[in-house]
Amino acid sequence: MTAPRRTYFPETSSDARSAPARTLLRQCAVLVRAAATGGTHAEAAVALFGRETGNVILRASVVPASTTGWGGTEFGGMALLISALAPASAAAQLIQRGIVVDMTGIANFALPSRLTTTTDAGRWIPEAAGIPVIGLTGIGDTTPILHVYKIAVGVAYTREVAVSSAIEQFIRGSLGLAIGLALDKKIFSSDAAVANTSPAGILTTTPLSATTGGGVAALAGDIEKLLGALVTAGVGIDPVLIVAPAQAASIKCLAGAKFDFPVFSSAALAAGTVAMVEASSFVSGFRDAPEIEATTEGTYTADDSSPTKEIVDSAGTVAPSVRSLWQSDCVALKARLPMAYALLVSTHAQSITSCTW
């Protein structure tokens, strides 16, 4: 059986630094076309984007012989990789504004506590007096722990789509959005953590009451409540709004261009939901660069109701909608991303449901 074609996407070129989203999507397109045609990555890159652009794309990625990771990845740029794969993701944009931790070789990372009150601040002291030292108490006990989980998605394309000149756009609308929605759905939720499967959501505090009456007054009232709750929790330094698409449109209409709070829209939020998160308290961690591979061989189940179901379980039951990539002349693109995230303080994310504007 032919081994799947694999690639890692480190931040190694000026093209990747200036336009990571476009570069990564084009690298995925090269993988898919090469798998569909049986040609080399170089041939696929030239066929899709021309020789000059194709060479730039190839220089921005390396196809290793193994999948042990990419030692040269700059983990400060990993947030850019997430954002590149999920351009419409509010979570990806929050990751970019927050703290990013290199989790290579680390199973769990206990986060330090955060200074949240004036009593934690420095002191004015006389000459030769002792300098106050702030102890970061609670590490590994009352503070969050970063634990790496894996987010993964697979997408199948027909050969006709895989070799088309629009494959980059199709990947953006499938793989990128699938990762983005998965990030948003989990991060901006009140879900509890599932051991060895998924982390908890960050919207764990009781939602604040919505301001009644609608219009600009209700919008201003809700913003005041959300920001006030963050300030009470000791922050409000870098607040961002995470809102449902309808509320994002309402903010544009009601507040206008002078509204300077960052607003990230997410289709994963229910209509009427608005959250405010202290971006400087959001911590994410990454163990490896995203691994993305394409293949024309193998069998998969396309059952959306039980996507993690085995093709044949221990009782010998065959899953529904089992398909062969080879028989159906398709190409599968699969992405795996080991990551972790947490808030330094749980009250640094506040929300309102059923807002009236």
pLDDT at 20: 60
Residue 286, strand partner residues: 102, 339
Residue listed under structure tokens 């601040």: 121
Indicate yes or no: pTM above 0.85: no
Alpha-carbon distance 213 to 228, whole Å? 20
- What are the residues whose beta carbons fall under 8 Å from the beta carbon of 258, sequence distance 6 or more? none
pLDDT at 211: 97
pLDDT at 116: 63
Torsion from C-alpha of 16, 17, 19, 24, nearest 10 degrees: 30
pLDDT at 308: 66
Sign of CA dihedral 292, 153, 277, 288: negative
Half-sphere CA count of 220, side-chain side, radius 13 A: 6
Pairing of strands 282-286, 99-102: parallel
Strands (E), the chain: 5-8, 99-102, 108-110, 145-147, 149-158, 239-243, 263-265, 274-278, 282-286, 291-295, 299-301, 322-324, 330-343, 349-352
| Backbone φ, ψ for residue 13 (5° rounding) | -135, 160
- What are the residues whose beta carbons fall under 8 Å from the beta carbon of 166, sequence distance 6 or more? none
Q: For the chain, which residues make up each domain, given as ranges?
A: 5-99+146-198+285-304+321-341, 215-280+345-352
215-280+345-352 CATH choice from 1.10.10, 3.30.2320, 1.10.3470, 3.30.70: 3.30.2320
The single-letter code of the amino acid at 344 is: L
Alpha-carbon distance 166 to 54, whole Å? 15
pLDDT at 11: 36
Distances (CA, A) of 66 to 229, 331, 338, 357: 49, 21, 17, 53
Residue numbers of the chain with a pLDDT score lower than 70: 1-21, 60-81, 83-87, 115-121, 135-142, 288-289, 304-309
